[in-house]
Amino acid sequence: MNSLKHAAESLLPRSLYRAILAPYHFVWTLGMALACGFPAKKLTVIGVTGTKGKSSVTEMIAAVLTEAGHTVAVSSTIHFTIGTESRPNKFKMTLPGRGFIQKFLAEAVSKGATHAVIEITSEAALQYRHLFLSLDAVVFTNLEKEHLESHGGIENYFQAKLRIGKALVRSRKRPRAIIANIDSPYGKRFQSLPVEVRLPFALADAQNLVLTDAGITFMYGGMEFALPHPGAFSARNALAAIRTAEFAGVPLPTVATALKHLTLIPGRAERIEAGQDFLAIVDYAHTPDSLEALYQAYPDRRKICVLGNTGGGRDTWKRPEMGRIADSYCAEVILTDEDPYDENPQTIVDAMASGMKRAPKLIMDRREAISAALQLAQPGDAVLVTGKGTDPYIMRAGGTKEPWSDARVVAEELQKLAG
């Protein structure tokens, strides 16, 4: 069945393939919602969507709600959690299909959860997985150039995201809220949806913002917030969580405590420590904007950068741009294999190298590339391994996959260096 599905997806135009499968996806979603008794109706449900920051914002909101005493279920790219129970997301998709989210929410209800925070992608919306979630709120982080070939342009990409907002409008919950980043023009369009509560946020709301590569501090609502996560993007993510907390009735001191204590978001500017005298960072950055934002978060460090380009056969436009950005910010650039799928991995890295003025190192074995980067590091440097974050596999031809963890491999190679 999987081989037939893979062949059909490869041979048919993507729009036709999606149209053929649309009834299939809808029936799965409706059928599982019915079978599970529409569990989302029994929870406060917050959906999080956007190109970047979804997982971090989801983790922050969950931490805030937990600090406030709620039992929280989380469905994200990183993991699935209910209260203190957690299991990694190994589906290689943010929101799995075949009614997964309905079964997960039913499990959450049975285990006493009161709130659910769900990361929702445009692809999930196109496959109707966002339906029957009885949303109370939707958080919109941003919209950047990604999936353009898949969706047929950025407006189509936005319209797929907007399906999630329209599902909120149809929700029978009251009050309903939109929490949107209005630094993005697309956020302003989300804000226009007819719901009872609109809670916009912008980076300027983080007053007296101080950025270091160890974290950020800022003032909001007369209170100081300190987060152990670097970059202006972390401030935006925190503001999304703060505004969501306002809707949920969580007081600011509780929010500040929760964000201060959220020391680890796996695969998101994640520090790997093994006693080394330089930084080793694993991050999911897989778009030009997110890659540049990550590099800017370490302005005073000599950077050694390992990167590929997420997803063979898609978003080919960004390859030279990713190479250009790495060339601009990094003292050393190592291009490597990432998720080639059915495309020749060498073709992908060659396209990235075409955007660079300097010749990068090409090391196609990802472990060897990471090892080489760590060996090049000097005291005070930052080794930045990007593109996969918590992705559990390297995806190869014919739907085959190789188990993988950037964080684990970095840790193992650091231990080898320590001898």
Separation in Å, CA 104 to CA 73, 110, 243, 363: 9, 10, 26, 40
Residue of 221, 229, 226 lying closest to 205 (CA atoms):
221
Q: For the chain, list residues with pLDDT below 50.
A: 1-2
Please state whether beta strands 137-140 and 177-181 pair in parallel, antiparallel, or not at all (unpaired): parallel
* CATH class, 10-261 region: alpha beta
What pTM did the predictor assign?
0.94
Kindly compute the dihedral angle of the four CA atoms of residues 353, 359, 362, 368, in this order, to the nearest 10 degrees: -130
Q: 180-188: which pairs have CB atoms within 8 A and are 24 or more residues apart? A: 180/139, 180/140, 181/50, 181/140, 181/141, 181/142, 181/236, 181/239, 181/240, 183/142, 183/236, 184/140, 184/142, 184/143, 186/140, 186/142, 186/143, 186/158, 186/161, 187/140, 187/142, 187/143
| Region 270-418: CATH code | 3.90.190.20
**Sequence ranges of the domains in the chain:** 10-261, 270-418
Say which residues have a Cβ less than 8 Å from residue 235's Cβ, sequence separation at least 6: 203, 206, 209, 211, 216, 218, 227
- pLDDT for 1 equals 47
